[in-house]
Structure 1
Amino acid sequence: MTEPNTIFITGASSGIGAALAESYAAFGKKLFLAGRNNNRLNDIATKCEKLGADVHRIILDVKDPLLCAQAIEQANAIRPLDLVIANAGISGGTGSSGETDNQVREIMDINIHGVLNTVLPAIDVMRSNGGGQIAIMSSLASFKGLPSAPAYCASKAAVRAWGEGLRGDLKKDNIKVSVITPGFVKSGITAVNKFPMPFLMEGKKAAQIIKYGLRRNKARISFPKPMYLAVLFFSALPLYLSEMISDQLPKKS
C-alpha cells in the first residue's frame, strides 16, 4: 500500500493518538486531529506542523454522532480521506470497589459509540470516494473479561469483533479495515496504573508498529507479540482455570 496523505485521528491529543499524529506528520500530509482537550490538542498540532504537516484542529466529543459526522464530512470535503483512525477511548475503573455505574456507562458510551460515530460516517464518505482505510483501536484486554475492568474489556471486545466483521463486509467497497489490539502503551490511561505492566511500550514505538501494520493492510495489529500470545493462551483456558488466575491479578488502585 501507498502511504496515506490525508488522515483523520480521534483521541489525537494524547497517548497513541498523539504518537500516531507525530508519526504521520510530514510535508504533503494533511492531518485532521480531533480531541476534547484544547491545550493538549494545540500542543500536538504544533509539533506536527513543525514536521511539515498541514494540521486541522478539531475539538470533538465522539459521543455526539451528529458532530462526528459533520467533522468527517467537512474534512473529506477539504481533501478526500485516505485513513480514519477511531482511536478515542477511556480506561476502566480505578477504585478497589471496581467500576461505578457512571464509569461503566461512560466507558461504553465513548469506547463503543465513539467508535461507531467515527467509523459509520467514514464508511459513507469512503464509499463515495471509491475506497479508503479505517483503523479501529481495540486492546489486548478485548480477548478476556477481567474483574479489574469488566466494562473496558467488554467495550474493546465489541469494537474488535465489529471491526473484524466489517473488514470482510467492506472489501467490495475497496475499504480496508484493520483492528489494533495493543498491550500497555505509555499514556494517560496507563499513567494511573499502580501495578506492574509487562512490556510497557513507548508511544513512538507503538505508532511505528501500527503504521507498518496498516501499510500492509493487516486484519489485526497486535503487540507486543509475547503478550499477545500469552493473552490468546489465557483466553483459551477453561473458565474455571482462567478465573483462578484472574483472581490473583493485581487490582487497579
Structure 2
Amino acid sequence: MTIIPPLTIPSIFQPLIQAWVAWFTVTFFSLPIATFFMWWDFPRCIYGLLFQKKPRVILITGADTRIGEMFALEYAQSGNTIGLLSSDKYKLNRLADECNKRGAETFKLYVDISNLELLRDTVEEFLSERPIDLLIANTSQNDIIKDVETRWEDMFEQVILTNINGIIGVIMSTYKRMQDLGKGQIAIINPTASNISIPQLIYHNMTKSALLSFSRDFRYLAKKHNVNVSIISPGLIDTQMTAKTLSPISSFKLFFASAHSLAFISRIQLQQGNVEIVWPFLETLPFYAYNILPPRIINTVTYFIGLIGDFFTGTNSVAWV
C-alpha cells in the first residue's frame, strides 16, 4: 500500500520546472566543481607533459580515414611501432610507406572492422608480440545512400556492426592485453555530434551516443587495472565525411579545423593524461548548451533541425545515415 502518492505537476508546467532545475544545478554544482577541476588539472597536466612516458607501441584503427591518417603521421617517428588497421589496401599501403619514411616500424593490419572474428584474430596476433602502450580507436560508418534501391531503414545493421560491434571488439581485445601488462592508454574518438540529435544522421548519432556512454563507464572499469581511457571529441573537422555534399554544414569550410591540428592537439593532451579532449573547443559549446535544455525543448529543436536538413538536402526523409 502506498502511503505517500507519487508527486507530480501538470505537464504544461514541467518544461519550466526542468529549466529551473537545470539553472540551479549549473549555478550551485557545475560551476563550483568545474572551478575545482581547473586548479586540480593544472599541475597534473604539467606533470604528465614533463614526466609521463611517451607511448612507443601504438595501434590505430580506421587508418583509411583522414583522422586516422593524421594520427598515424603524428606518432610516426623513430623508435615507435605503429599498427595500422584498415579495410582499404591502397590507403593502408600508402600510409604505411609514409610512416616508414618517418622512421617508425609499421605493421599493416588489413581487415574489415565489421568482421568480428577476423578482427579479433588480427588484433590479438599484433598484440601478442608487442607490449601495446596506446590504442587510438577510430572509425565511423556514415554512408550516403547513392541509389534509389537502398532504403535507409535497412542500413542500421551495417552502421551498428562498424560503429559499435567493431570498435568495441578492438577495444576489448586491446584492453585484455593491457590488463596483462598492468598499464596502457585507450583513446576513443567520438564526435561531439554524439551530444545532439540530427534526424538525417539517425543511425550514426545513435551509435555514437551509445559509444559515448560506453566510454565513460569503461573508464571506471579500466582504471582498476591502471589503464587510462580518454575520449577524443572532434568538432568540425575537414574530412571525407564532412566533405559530402548532402551535409548542409559542408558549405561552411571556414569553421572547419584540419585533421592534422586535431591529431597534434590530441597527442599533447593524451600525454598530459586528459580524460576529455575536445577540438575545436569553442565550436562545441552549442552542443553542451543543447544538452542542458529541458527534454521538451530538445525534442522541438531536433524537429526543426530535421526540417532544416530536409530543406538543404532536398529530401523529405533520411538521405544519409
Pick aligned residue for 1:250 from 282, 304, 309: 309
User: Unmatched 5+ residue regions in structure 1?
Assistant: none
Which residue in 2 is equivalent to 1:154? 206
Letter in 1 for 2:309: P
Which residue in 2 is equivalent to 1:196? 249
- Distance in structure 2 (CA, Å) of the matches to 1:42 and 1:191: 23
| Alpha carbons 2:145, 2:152 under 8 Å: kept | no
State how many pairs are aligned.
Answer: 252
Does 2:293 match 1:237? yes
Pick aligned residue for 1:122 from 174, 180, 183: 174
- Distance in structure 1 (CA, Å) of the matches to 2:157 and 2:123: 25
Q: CA deviation at 1:231?
A: 0.5
Does 2:264 match 1:211? no
| Alpha carbons 1:93, 1:149 under 8 Å: kept | no
SS in structure 2 opposite 1:17?
helix
| Alpha carbons 2:235, 2:281 under 8 Å: kept | no
Q: Which deviations, in whole Å up to 9, do the C-alpha atoms of 1:200-222 show, x marking residues without a partner?
A: 11111010121122112222112
More helix by percentage: 2
- Distance in structure 1 (CA, Å) of the matches to 2:90 and 2:154: 26
- Distance in structure 1 (CA, Å) of the matches to 2:95 and 2:266: 18
Q: Which deviations, in whole Å up to 9, do the C-alpha atoms of 1:196-250 show, x marking residues without a partner?
A: 3563111110101211221122221122111221100012212343344441443
Does 2:134 match 1:83? yes
SS in structure 2 opposite 1:222?
strand
| Alpha carbons 2:248, 2:309 under 8 Å: kept | yes
CA-based RMSD? 2.1
User: Unmatched 5+ residue regions in structure 2?
Assistant: 1-51, 314-321
Does 2:133 match 1:57? no
Pick aligned residue for 2:278 from 222, 236, 243: 222
Letter in 1 for 2:286: A
Letter in 1 for 2:153: D
Which residue in 2 is equivalent to 1:187? 239
SS in structure 2 opposite 1:27?
coil
Evaluate the alpha carbon distance shift between residue 99 and residue 202 of structure 1 in structure 2; reply closer, same or farther with a 3 A threshold: farther
Q: Write the mapping of 1:158-169 to structure 2, written as runs, cut at 5 A.
A: 158-169=210-221
Letter in 2 for 1:233: A
- Distance in structure 1 (CA, Å) of the matches to 2:136 and 2:58: 8
Evaluate the alpha carbon distance shift between residue 213 and residue 99 of structure 1 in structure 2; reply closer, same or farther with a 3 A threshold: farther
What is the aligned-residue identity percentage? 26
The range that moved more, 33-42 or 193-202, is: 193-202
